[in-house]
């Protein structure tokens, strides 16, 4: 075995080892021992999720259903304008008059595209009694922010993006075709 073959083999092993190390760091659960960069991203995302949920509770409590529309995937906002969205039976029925807060208790991230969020939903009733209801929600990182859609789905968004990609590809091919 030549020295060059040995060097190439060692380089391949080192490269494969670095991929294993990188793959092992892709899951972020905020455990100690993670790099500072991953931990700070985890903390920022967790903070962003909490801020989104607190804003949702606050705006929704005052009847602002636009906060729900803002958290839908892009395809739903293309498919329905805001007035049409308000007429969807699920949206029409939804009320929040006693919701006071959505407090994040724990977050488990999945490659920064989605997260399972343990939430404590805080209700304050007409007699000022406070009730807490634990919930597990899935949130998605979409268009640079964390959202919790009410009626749209990630599958619908993937289909929308695929149709857009095909249309863009066809438009580019048509533009490049010489007449």
Confidence (pLDDT) at 156: 97
In this structure, the dihedral spanned by the alpha carbons of residues 104, 106, 112 and 116, taken in order and rounded to 10 degrees, is: -90
* Average pLDDT over all residues of the chain: 83
Q: Provide CB contacts within 8 A for 64, sequence distance 6+.
A: none
Beta bridge partner(s), residue 27:
none
Q: What percent of the chain has pLDDT over 70?
A: 79
Confidence (pLDDT) at 136: 98
Confidence of residue 14 (pLDDT cuts 50, 70, 90): very low
- Identify the H or E element spanning 163: helix 154-176
Average pLDDT for residues 154-160, to the nearest whole number?
97
Average pLDDT for residues 35-43, to the nearest whole number?
77
Q: What percent of the chain has pLDDT over 90?
A: 65
Q: Residue 6 pLDDT more than 70?
A: no
Confidence of residue 175 (pLDDT cuts 50, 70, 90): confident
Confidence of residue 35 (pLDDT cuts 50, 70, 90): low
Identify the structural domains of the chain with CATH numbers, from first to last. Answer: 28-176 (3.10.450)
């Amino acid at each position: 075995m030549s020295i060059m073959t040995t060097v190439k083999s060692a380089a391949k092993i080192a490269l494969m080892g670095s991929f294993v190390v990188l793959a092992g760091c892709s899951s972020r659960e905020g455990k100690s021992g993670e790099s500072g960069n991953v931990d700070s991203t985890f903390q920022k995302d967790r903070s962003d999720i909490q801020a989104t949920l607190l804003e949702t509770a606050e705006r929704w409590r005052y009847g602002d259903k636009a906060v729900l529309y803002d958290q839908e995937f892009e395809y739903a906002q293309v498919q329905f304008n805001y007035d049409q969205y308000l007429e969807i039976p699920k949206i029409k029925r939804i009320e929040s008059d006693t919701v006071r807060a959505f407090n994040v208790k724990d977050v488990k991230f999945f490659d920064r595209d989605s997260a399972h969020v343990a939430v404590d939903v805080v209700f304050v009733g007409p007699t000022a009694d406070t009730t807490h209801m634990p919930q597990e929600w899935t949130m998605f990182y979409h268009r640079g922010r964390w959202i919790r859609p009410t009626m749209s789905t990630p599958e619908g968004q993937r289909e929308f993006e695929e149709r857009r990609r095909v249309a863009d590809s066809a438009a580019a091919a048509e533009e490049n075709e010489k007449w």
